């Protein structure tokens, strides 16, 4: 019986030249990532101001402390979901002292419908204790002091400073990050870069309300999946190449 024909052994691949590597496809920077000019920024915020002169945040609260608690609860959760849980929580405890007396277990029961509720309940008790021990039960008015509290990061601190104390801070959440990058208003690789870019380009007279205008625009118009470009106030300024108009 004639045996099967043996295949010739595979030749080894040539060694790559020193320093050679597979190159990734060249990424061309989309045109909408080019930042707006001063005139475009002025036009956009003038329109926002005319359409909504006094915008308001949607988290329900009574004072700086309940705002702080609500914002901590809103991390990776919706304002609507937080607003369903906080009325009962604040009826039971609306001051740091009452919250500490309520205790972590009962706080968990009030906020268990909110994502990551266990860690958030723990942080609410811890920050309340810190407020009592270090700030006389009052919410501090500086970013550094706020960020030193358990569960409070830069975004949360900026929200509290803006809404509770009227500071012209800009808290970059997922909506503001999307709007800033998608339109070309203030592109950045991360929330901090976007925040710094917005601080540079937004005229001072608009900074007090810029946070709310951009969040509400991202939440209800420039949405992630189905942006409503035809009713967008700034669609003629937007540099997004996939606009639906």
Is 79 a residue of the active site? no
Total domains, the chain: 2
Query: Which class for 119: exposed (0-12), middle (13-18), buried (19 or more C-beta within 10 A)?
Result: middle
Of 150, 165, 180, the residue that ends a domain is 165
- Pair 146, 190 in one domain: no
User: What is the reported pLDDT for 243?
Assistant: 85
Q: Which domain holds residue 75?
A: 64-165
Is residue 73 domain-shared with residue 161, that is, in the same domain? Answer: yes
Please classify residue 193 by burial: count the beta carbons closer than 10 Å to its beta carbon, then call 0-12 exposed, 13-18 middle and 19+ buried.
middle
**Residues 121 and 187 placed together within one structural domain of the fold:** no
Q: What is the DSSP string of 28-67?
A: PPPGGGSPPPHHHHHHHHHHHHHH-SS---SS--SSHHHH
Question: Out of 63, 155, 204, 226, which one is annotated catalytic?
Answer: 155
pLDDT of residue 23: 44
What is the model's pLDDT at position 189?
A: 93
- Domain-located, residue 191: yes
* Six token digits for residue 168: 């012209």
> Would you say residue 17 lies in a domain?
no
Same domain, 161 and 190: no
Q: Which of 14, 34, 106, 173 is flagged as catalytic? A: 173
Q: Which of 140, 165, 190 is the last residue of a domain?
A: 165
State residue 15's pLDDT score. 44
63 is catalytic: no
Q: Is residue 84 part of a domain?
A: yes
Question: b/e for 148-174, b at 16 or more Cβ within 10 A?
Answer: ebebbebbbbbbbbbbbeebbbbbbbe
Pair 237, 40: CB distance under 8 Å: yes
> Is the same domain home to 78 and 47?
no
Which of residues 126, 149, 165 is at a domain's end? 165
Are residues 132 and 69 located together in one domain of the fold? yes
Residue 10 forms part of a structural domain:
no
* Residue 238 included in any domain: no
CATH number for 102: 1.10.340.30
Report pLDDT for 28. 37
Angle subtended by helix axes 79-92 and 104-111, to nearest 10: 140
Tokens of 221: 């118009």
**Residue 236 falls inside a structural domain:** no
Regarding whether 157 and 70 lie in a shared domain, the answer is yes
CATH at residue 191:
1.10.1670.10
Residue 30 in domain = no
The model's pTM is 0.83
Kindly state the DSSP code that residue 189 receives in the 8-state scheme.
S
Residue 243 located in a structural domain:
no
C-alpha count within 13 angstroms, C-beta hemisphere, residue 233: 19
- pLDDT in 10s for each residue of the chain, 245 residues: 445 455 555 554 444 444 443 444 344 344 445 779 999 999 999 999 999 999 999 999 999 999 999 999 999 899 999 999 999 999 999 999 999 999 999 999 999 999 999 999 999 999 999 999 999 999 999 999 999 999 999 999 999 999 999 999 999 999 999 999 999 999 999 999 999 999 999 999 999 999 999 999 999 999 999 999 999 999 999 999 898 87
């Amino acid at each position: 019986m004639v045996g099967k024909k043996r295949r010739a052994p595979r030749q080894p691949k040539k060694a790559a030249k020193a320093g050679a590597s597979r190159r990734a496809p060249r990424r061309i920077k989309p045109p909408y990532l080019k930042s707006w000019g001063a005139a475009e920024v002025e036009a956009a915020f003038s329109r926002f101001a005319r359409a909504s002169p006094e915008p308001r945040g949607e988290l329900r609260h009574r004072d700086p402390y309940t705002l702080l608690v609500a914002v901590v609860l809103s991390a990776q959760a919706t304002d609507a979901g937080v607003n369903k849980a906080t009325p009962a929580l604040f009826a039971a405890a609306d001051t740091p002292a009452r919250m500490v007396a309520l205790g972590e277990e009962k706080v968990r029961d009030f906020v268990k419908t909110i994502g990551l509720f266990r860690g958030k309940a723990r942080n609410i008790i811890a920050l309340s204790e810190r407020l009592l021990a270090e700030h006389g039960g009052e919410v501090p008015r500086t970013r550094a002091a706020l960020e030193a509290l358990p569960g409070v990061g830069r975004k949360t601190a900026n929200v509290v400073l803006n809404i509770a104390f009227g500071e012209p801070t800009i808290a970059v959440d997922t909506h503001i990050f999307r709007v800033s990058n998608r339109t070309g208003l203030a592109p950045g690789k991360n929330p901090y870069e976007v925040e710094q870019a917005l601080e540079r380009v937004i005229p001072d007279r608009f900074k007090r309300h810029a946070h709310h205008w951009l969040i509400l625009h991202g939440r209800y118009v420039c949405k992630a999946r189905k942006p409503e470009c035809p009713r967008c106030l700034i669609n003629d300024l937007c540099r997004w190449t996939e606009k639906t108009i």
